[in-house]
């Protein structure tokens, strides 16, 4: 997933003339952060099950976690864009939002691809 994200910052920051490796490292760092976020969300839902809640079966928890993870990703991207690319102002916020939408699309596409592969290889 990280390598499929690399073209997005490369396109958004093409004027900066940074090598593609810089964008790849940025992507790997972002996806490391996302894995930590997803692990924390899984632990929270597992704790909910342990305490007697619905956990993974709760639509409310699922939607709340998805929104919280997307917002956390957007905040992280805004902070990271300032550090890595020197982005500032409203343009930084727009670029962060575009990258967060790109992350959401890639994650959903990856999950769908795993579904298709599992569907057609286990019969």
Q: Tell me the pLDDT tens digit for each residue of 21-39.
A: 999 999 999 999 999 998 9
What does the pLDDT look like over 36-50, one tens digit per residue? 998 998 898 888 888
Does residue 77 carry a pLDDT above 80?
Answer: yes
Radius of gyration of the chain (CA): 17
Mean pLDDT of 114-118: 93
pLDDT of residue 47: 87
The CA distance from 93 to 90, in Å, is: 5
Asked if the model's pLDDT at residue 91 lies above 90, the reply is no
What pLDDT is attached to residue 89?
87
CA separation (Å) from 76 to 36, 52, 70, 112, 114? Answer: 12, 32, 10, 25, 26
Does 56 score more than 80 pLDDT?
no
Q: CA-to-CA distance for 97 and 15, rounded, in angstroms? A: 19
**CB neighbours (10 Å) of residue 102?**
18
Residue 90 has φ and ψ, to the nearest 5°, of: -65, -30
Report whether pLDDT(123) > 80.
no
DSSP 87: -
What average pLDDT does range 65-87 have in this prediction? Answer: 90
* pLDDT recorded at residue 88: 85
């Amino acid at each position: 997933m990280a390598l499929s994200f690399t073209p997005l910052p490369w396109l958004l920051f093409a004027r900066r003339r940074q090598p593609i490796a810089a964008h790849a490292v940025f992507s790997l760092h972002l996806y490391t952060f996302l894995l930590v976020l997803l692990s924390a969300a899984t632990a929270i839902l597992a704790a909910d099950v342990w305490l007697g809640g619905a956990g993974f079966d709760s639509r409310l928890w699922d939607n709340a976690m998805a929104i919280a993870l997307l917002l956390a990703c957007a905040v992280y991207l805004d902070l990271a864009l300032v550090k890595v690319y020197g982005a500032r102002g409203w343009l930084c916020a727009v670029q962060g939002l575009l990258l967060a939408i790109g992350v959401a699309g890639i994650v959903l596409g990856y999950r769908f691809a795993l579904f298709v592969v599992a569907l057609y290889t286990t019969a």
